[in-house]
Amino acid sequence: MQLFYAPEISLPRYTLPEEESKHCVRVLRMTVGDELHLTDGKGNMHRCKVVVDNAKRCEVEVVETIAEYERMTYGLTMCVAPTKIIDRFEWFLEKATEIGVSEVYPLECDHSERRQIKHEREEKVITAAVKQSLKAYHPTLHEMTSVRDIIKMDFEGEKYIAHCDGEFGERPYLGKLVKKGANTLILIGPEGDFSKEEINFALENGFKAISLGRERLRTETAAVVATTIVATINKL
């Protein structure tokens, strides 16, 4: 399956953007009659046929549409502090998209190493992962958000904070707490961990402290591990 991302798709015919047209005709060498798939990132998977094989304006016709294609049976919102080396955060975005995530909030924390990201660039990372992993849903990437704003945000579901501070008592393993089919939100802090004030504020506002295992993990590794645990529990 060759999948293209078309958030503004029109039916029954659609003209691919120039870059995608070039990839379709020049790289994949598709010609009139060949099949490809388009997704709008909202759950619709369109099976299409090439009707105009122009490298600048490749036109396709929708043959079949499958709604809610492989829709996730759970919701997962990952709130992660971007790493100083942005490639590591982008690795998380890619892997989380492949594994299964609904929304991503880049977090600004007291100990943050990075306080801004290039949103358009990170969107492209997610889009590439959507196409590579044949997803029909495009995860929502929010703007950089204060961890305190996330903590105060209305959220219907299970809320967890992964931290390493032993002063706050027991931190059960995430895999023992995840509820199958539930909406889940997880906070993953920066390399210097959340501050005591942030942890306390989260616990006061209904968050449960969690552990991701005995190992001490880097931010992006912890985020991928948490994503994987939630996905695995929901696929059992």
Pairing of strands 13-15, 59-66: antiparallel
How is the chain split into domains, by residue range? Answer: 3-66, 75-235
Which is the CATH superfamily of the domain at 3-66?
Hypothetical PUA domain-like; domain 1 (2.40.240.20)
In terms of residues, how long is the chain? 236
User: In the numeric block, which tokens belong to residue 11?
Assistant: 């039916």
What is the topology classification, in CATH, of domain 75-235?
A: Alpha/beta knot (3.40.1280)
CB contact at 8 A, 48 and 15: no
What is the model's pLDDT at position 128?
Answer: 96
The separation between CA 159 and the C-alpha centre of its own chain, rounded to angstroms, equals: 17
The reported pLDDT for the residue numbered 119 is 96
* Blockwise average pLDDT, block size 10, the chain, 236 residues: 92 93 95 96 97 96 96 97 97 98 98 95 97 97 98 97 90 96 97 95 97 94 98 93
Give the strand pairing for 45-52 and 75-80: unpaired
C-alpha closest to that of 35 among 7, 70, 62: 62
Instruction: Please give the pLDDT value at position 165.
Output: 87
What is the pLDDT at residue 175?
96
